[in-house]
Amino acid sequence: MASLGKLLQCIKSWASSCSHSLSAPTLPTATVLNLAYLPPELLHYITSYLDRESLKQSRLTCRTISHIASSKLFETILTDEAHSTAEATLSPRMRILIERLKELPNLRDVILRFDVYFTAPDTDEDVDTDDDEVGEEDEESGVVWYPQTVPFRLETLQLLFSSLLSLSRPLRGLAIQNMQNICEQTPGEIATMAKVLCKLRSLRLHIVSGLIAQRC
């Protein structure tokens, strides 16, 4: 009994000599999530929900996110313009746009759309057009319409295929709408077109024939 009392006294003495501080457990410090560290497939998934303005802002964050946002932002590029002369001509702006297609490394598909209304070869000066239509502003679209001549279409095709041939990676799909059923390309131009066409996975052509001189 004496030994047990001595043991309890020793424990009590030890407990009183030790200082114990009771405090709340330390929680791990919260870390800020860096989107750039996420797997690329998740970043592609996230950017797929962003609108164009948000994609533009995302390109200003870092290189990783900028690359992914850029591929989504420029996934589809639309360009169109009205002709301001009595005959359709390629404007300097349109020439630059076509020539700079090679600067788009992720370009996969191209759609070229001509106007469905055109003139016939050797009769561009004698086409019986409606003066109320040609050179007048369309009431619905506000676009001034001028006929797209054969030289205009051939020049556009030549410039487009020359630019597509210089792409860093082969084009996947090409569509040409309202292509006139006229073939006046030189052997060199045909060879350029063949080099582009032989690498395509998809080719869609919409051919128009006959003379359509005025809008219906």
Q: Tell me if 207 sits within 8 A of 179, measured CB to CB.
A: yes
Top pLDDT among 74 and 206 is at 206
Fold that domain 36-75 belongs to in CATH: Monooxygenase (1.20.1280)
| DSSP for residue 202 | E
> Quick check: pTM over 0.85?
no
Q: Which residue has the tokens 């309202």?
A: 178
Confidence of residue 125 (pLDDT cuts 50, 70, 90): very low
Question: pLDDT at residue 213 above 70?
Answer: no
Question: pLDDT at residue 160 above 80?
Answer: yes
Give the whole-number percent of the chain exceeding pLDDT 90. Answer: 16
Question: pLDDT at residue 140 above 70?
Answer: no
In whole angstroms, how far apart are CA 112 and each of 8, 12, 142?
96, 93, 21
Top pLDDT among 69 and 1 is at 69
> Can you give the pLDDT at residue 22?
47
pLDDT tens string 18-59:
555 545 555 555 566 677 788 888 888 888 888 889 888 888
Confidence of residue 215 (pLDDT cuts 50, 70, 90): very low
Q: What is the domain partition of the chain in residue ranges?
A: 36-75, 79-216
**Residue closest to 184 by CA, chosen among 160, 212, 149:** 149
Give the whole-number percent of the chain exceeding pLDDT 70. Answer: 63
> Can you give the pLDDT at residue 145?
56
Confidence of residue 199 (pLDDT cuts 50, 70, 90): very high
In whole angstroms, how far apart are CA 22 and each of 16, 25, 26, 52?
15, 9, 12, 55
Confidence of residue 17 (pLDDT cuts 50, 70, 90): low
Top pLDDT among 19 and 205 is at 205
> Can you give the pLDDT at residue 62?
87
> Can you give the pLDDT at residue 179?
87
> Can you give the pLDDT at residue 4?
56
**For range 130-142, the mean pLDDT:** 49
